[in-house]
Amino acid sequence: MKNHNLFAALRAAFPASLDEVAIETDTGLSYTWRDLERATAMMANLLQSLGLPAGARVAVQVEKSVEAMVLYLATLRAGYVFLPLNTAYQSAEIEYFIGNAEPSVVVCASRNFGWVSKIAFKAGTQNVFTLDEDRSGSLLDRAGHCSDQHEVALKQADDMAAILYTSGTTGRSKGAMLSHGNLLSNAQVLKDYWGWKKGDVLIHALPIFHVHGLFVAMHGALLNGSKMIWLGKFDPKLVVEKLPEATVFMGVPTLYVRLLAEAGLTLEACRNMRLFIAGSAPLLIETFKEWQQRTGHTILERYGMSETAMLTSNPYQGGERRGGTVGFALPGVSLRVQGDEGQSLPVGEIGDIQVKGPNVFQGYWRMPEKTKEEFTADGYFKTGDVGKIDERGYITIVGRSKDLIISGGYNVYPAEIEGYINEMPGVAESALVGVPHPDFGEVGVAVVTAKAGVTLDASRMLAELKSRLANFKIPKQCFVVSELPRNAMGKVQKNLLREQHKSLFS
């Protein structure tokens, strides 16, 4: 029987000579392909020695490191389900994810062990390990005693490989269940579409707890047996310094904006580069053009979601990369634009983007009703993005029907932040809107009204939020007003608030 385990496909792509360098880090470490083979085997053996149930979740909130990547690969290899968590999440957020996913294993930074283990044990997790970015922690101590021989667990294409939490427009986050087949099919399509070739070297500068850094970038390099230059954190100076040694770079628009501020970003620095890819948030046309002028390279913009991995891409070759568009539906992806009555719209008309394909997820974890709501009767997933397709087939995203702010490539769901603000004493109601920001593309601004007779202190409210939520979710400003604008139906007119505050940061 064929093994559909994603790790098996990635492993098969390792170069024949396992002593070649697979990863060089910004801390001066170097890992060979053999190191990855052995380390994933040892960690997979550790996981399998724990007697976990089939389909067990391994929840991970650790700083970026090669060992954290090994943990991801080992989880696949051992046949369990990887659940990455943003390091910015604080206790209330972690409590929800762990309570909802009921992981059998939790791995956290040692400095967080106290509070994370308390949450995990309360939720019934039996195994809590630590892993730090300096290669210390109980996970590696334990794995160090395990055999470096391991047979990759047998998996079907639709077996779950990962759960990625993505917030909803209402209520709490939903865990998008992605299968081995979802992830592998997408990685294979991107390998061909982006022309990955022998000798490619990727600068990996993104976090590894979301689709972009964990799947798109990492699978891309691994499936091509390509070396990665591994940066623990995005540092524009270091990226520019490393560009001559690389051929491929991937980033959210904020990374491109910050790189453009570096004087060292020149044609000469980019002389060996083959491809710059952007996504996760809209790339401004000014950034696209300035990049072309400064580097001689045309950024390739693509579009995707946690629920679907990559959906569309501008062409690598054989066509123009058009700024402001996200290109064409990828091979195997069926994408359509629908009107309010569920009718297919003609070329150029704006409507809801819906997709189908082998990359589309298996549903939301333990939310069959929510899952059903997000699919059409004929099996298309409703992305919540609004766009159009031109006569040449290029897709442009013009907005979102979901109330979502994308800030520096991270998603902020207004409903979640408003929920926290509304619970604060003295608050009558609140609205969070996204406004343009030169660095993060878009940031949240809160507008709040007070209960009768109460005086609210905006900066104290922000400080209170900061103590409870991931830092990127904190509104960059908070205004206390006497009332929120409403339409005839009584609905808050966020468009008016957005308009009113659009120049705050420009």
The residues of the shown chain that bind ligand AMP, judged by CB under 6 A, are 166, 211, 279-282, 301, 303-306, 326, 383-385, 397, 400, 406, 411
Q: How far is the CB of 219 from ligand MCA (least distance, A)?
A: 12
Q: How far is the CB of 385 from ligand AMP (least distance, A)?
A: 5
Tokens representing 294 are: 């400064």
| Cβ-proximal residue to ligand MCA, closest one | 408
3-state DSSP of 147-180: CCCCCCCCCCCCCEEEEEEECCCCCCCEEEEEEH
Give 317-361 as a DSSP string: SSS---TTS--EEPTT-EEEEE-TTSPBPPTT--EEEEEESTTS-
Residues that bind ligand MCA (CB under 6 A): 206-207, 210-213, 233-234, 252, 254, 279-280, 304-306, 407-410, 440, 443, 471-472
Q: How far is the CB of 181 from ligand MCA (least distance, A)?
A: 18
Angle at the Cα of 405 from the Cα atoms of 401 and 410, rounded to 5 degrees: 125
What, of ligand AMP, ligand MCA, none, does residue 351 touch, CB below 5 to 8 Å by kind? Answer: none
What, of ligand AMP, ligand MCA, none, does residue 400 touch, CB below 5 to 8 Å by kind? Answer: ligand AMP
To which H or E segment does residue 70 belong? helix 66-78
In angstroms, the Cα distances linking 394 to 304, 333, 337, 347 are: 15, 14, 12, 10
Q: How far is the CB of 153 from ligand AMP (least distance, A)?
A: 27
Neighbours of 316 (CB within 10 A): 18
Of 55, 43, 59, 304, give the one whose Cα is nearest residue 164: 59
What, of ligand MCA, ligand AMP, none, does residue 367 touch, CB below 5 to 8 Å by kind? Answer: none
79 or 304, CB closer to ligand AMP? 304
b vs e for 189-212, b when ≥16 Cβ sit within 10 Å of the residue's Cβ?
A: bbbebbebeeebbbbbbbbbbbbb
What, of ligand MCA, ligand AMP, none, does residue 213 touch, CB below 5 to 8 Å by kind? Answer: ligand MCA
77 or 210, CB closer to ligand MCA? 210
Q: How far is the CB of 468 from ligand MCA (least distance, A)?
A: 13
What, of ligand MCA, ligand AMP, none, does residue 397 touch, CB below 5 to 8 Å by kind? Answer: ligand AMP
Neighbours of 125 (CB within 10 A): 20
243 or 305, CB closer to ligand MCA? 305
202 or 395, CB closer to ligand AMP? 395
To which H or E segment does residue 202 belong? strand 201-204
What, of ligand AMP, ligand MCA, none, does residue 471 touch, CB below 5 to 8 Å by kind? Answer: ligand MCA
Distance CA 140, CA 75 (A): 14
Cβ 419 vs Cβ 440: under 8 Å: no
Of 70, 19, 8, give the one whose Cα is nearest residue 223: 8
37 or 301, CB closer to ligand AMP? 301
326 or 448, CB closer to ligand AMP? 326
Q: How far is the CB of 367 from ligand MCA (least distance, A)?
A: 19
Q: How far is the CB of 206 from ligand MCA (least distance, A)?
A: 4
Distance CA 188, CA 111 (A): 38
77 or 402, CB closer to ligand AMP? 402
What, of ligand MCA, ligand AMP, none, does residue 282 touch, CB below 5 to 8 Å by kind? Answer: ligand AMP
Q: How far is the CB of 59 from ligand AMP (least distance, A)?
A: 18
125 or 185, CB closer to ligand AMP? 185
What, of ligand MCA, ligand AMP, none, does residue 383 touch, CB below 5 to 8 Å by kind? Answer: ligand AMP
What, of ligand MCA, ligand AMP, none, does residue 183 touch, CB below 5 to 8 Å by kind? Answer: none
Tokens representing 161 are: 């490989």
Q: How far is the CB of 394 from ligand AMP (least distance, A)?
A: 13
Distance CA 87, CA 98 (A): 14
What, of ligand AMP, ligand MCA, none, does residue 407 touch, CB below 5 to 8 Å by kind? Answer: ligand MCA
46 or 250, CB closer to ligand AMP? 250
Cβ 359 vs Cβ 308: under 8 Å: yes
137 or 434, CB closer to ligand AMP? 434
Cβ 61 vs Cβ 107: under 8 Å: yes
Cβ 106 vs Cβ 120: under 8 Å: yes
Angle at the Cα of 155 from the Cα atoms of 150 and 161, rounded to 5 degrees: 95
207 or 384, CB closer to ligand AMP? 384
Q: How far is the CB of 268 from ligand MCA (least distance, A)?
A: 25
Q: How far is the CB of 330 from ligand MCA (least distance, A)?
A: 12
Distance CA 474, CA 413 (A): 11
